[in-house]
């Protein structure tokens, strides 16, 4: 089963790549990524801030002045300059996409892959380690695993690595059985009518 991922704006890649080049050259790639994420989360979590940043009724100069006052000394100058550039170009809505893309590019550069392991109950450490080792052997990259417990799966687990999802949950098996029963019943009804 494929994962449904949010479609990102194509320009996010260009901005994220440029920011990563600057961060790497200055030896601050990880810090810049953390700062971009913090700003993106602040904007997405605070409705008033999001309206302020995205509103066409507020001048670009006022937005940049507010960012300068709020973030000077708290984020690196290149990160602040990127935010101001986005405002100048009317692309401040891209902050979250840029932060997400930056993180992905940083992981690729470092040879890492993120995996989310979702299970109905907590996984024993040895089983988790075996799953991580299997993902590492299949991807050839270091694995940064996040574990999530979701009782709604009933039993089993799902593993998401990038856009790939392996769904071995009881819930999905029951859904497939239900679909097969419905298809079989529907087909039988058609035959009986003739």
pLDDT tens readout for residues 173-190: 566 666 766 666 555 555
User: Which of 26-30, 113-117, 150-154, 164-168: highest mean pLDDT?
Assistant: 26-30
Residue 134: HSE in the Cβ half-sphere, 13 Å Cα cutoff: 10
- CA dist 54 → 90, 99, 178 (Å): 8, 17, 45
Task: Measure the CA–CA gap between 164 and 135, rounded to whole angstroms.
Answer: 12
Between 27-31, 89-93, 153-157, the lowest mean confidence (pLDDT) is in 153-157
Domain-ending residue, one of 59, 83, 107 = 107
- What pLDDT score does 141 carry? 80
Asked if the structure places residue 31 within a domain, the reply is yes
Residues 49 and 133 in one domain: no
Same-domain pairing of 28 and 72: yes
% of the chain surpassing 70 pLDDT: 79
123 and 80 together in one domain: no
Say if residue 99 is in the same domain as residue 16: yes
Question: Are 99 and 148 in a shared domain?
Answer: no
Question: Which domain, by its residues, includes 154?
Answer: 111-169
Shared domain check, 57 and 139: no
- Which of 107, 124, 158 represents a domain boundary (last residue)? 107
Does 86 fall in a domain?
yes
Let me know whether 49 and 80 are in one domain: yes
Please, are residues 99 and 8 in contact by the beta-carbon 8 Å criterion? no
Q: Looking at residue 68, which CATH number applies to its domain?
A: 1.10.520.20
Averaged pLDDT for residues 140-149: 81
Same-domain pairing of 97 and 77: yes
Mean pLDDT of 142-163: 76
Q: What angle do CA 24, 27, 30 make, to 5 degrees?
A: 75
Instruction: For residues 99 and 131, state if they share a domain.
Output: no
What is the tally of structural domains in the chain? 2
User: Among 107, 123, 154, which residue terminates a domain?
Assistant: 107
pLDDT per residue over 78-133, tens digit each? 999 999 999 999 998 999 999 999 988 998 888 888 888 888 778 888 888 888 88
Instruction: For residues 64 and 115, state if they share a domain.
Output: no
Share of the chain above pLDDT 90, in %: 39
Query: Same domain for 84 and 116?
Result: no
Tell whether 101 is covered by a domain. Answer: yes
Average pLDDT across the chain, whole number: 82
Considering the domain architecture, whether residues 95 and 116 belong to the same structural domain is answered as no
Q: Is residue 176 part of a domain?
A: no
Q: Is residue 153 part of a domain?
A: yes
- Max CA separation in the chain (angstroms): 78
| CA dist., res. 172 & res. 166, Å (int) | 11
């Amino acid at each position: 089963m494929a994962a449904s991922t949010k479609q990102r704006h194509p320009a996010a890649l260009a901005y994220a790549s440029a920011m990563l080049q600057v961060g790497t050259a200055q030896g601050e790639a990880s810090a810049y990524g953390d700062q971009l994420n913090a700003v993106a989360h602040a904007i997405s979590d605070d409705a008033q801030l999001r309206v302020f940043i995205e509103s066409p009724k507020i001048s670009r100069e006022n937005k940049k002045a507010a960012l300068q006052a709020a973030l000077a000394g708290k984020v690196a100058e290149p990160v602040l300059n990127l935010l101001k550039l986005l405002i100048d170009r009317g692309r401040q809505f891209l902050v979250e996409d840029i932060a997400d893309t930056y993180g992905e590019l940083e992981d690729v550069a470092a040879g890492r892959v993120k995996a989310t392991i979702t299970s109905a109950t907590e996984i024993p450490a040895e089983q988790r380690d075996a799953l991580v080792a299997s993902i590492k052997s299949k991807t050839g990259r270091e694995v940064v695993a996040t574990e999530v417990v979701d009782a709604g799966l009933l039993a089993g687990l799902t593993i998401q690595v990038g856009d790939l999802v392996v769904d071995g949950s009881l819930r999905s098996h029951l859904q497939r059985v239900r679909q097969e029963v419905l298809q079989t019943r529907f087909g039988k009804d058609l035959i009986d009518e003739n």
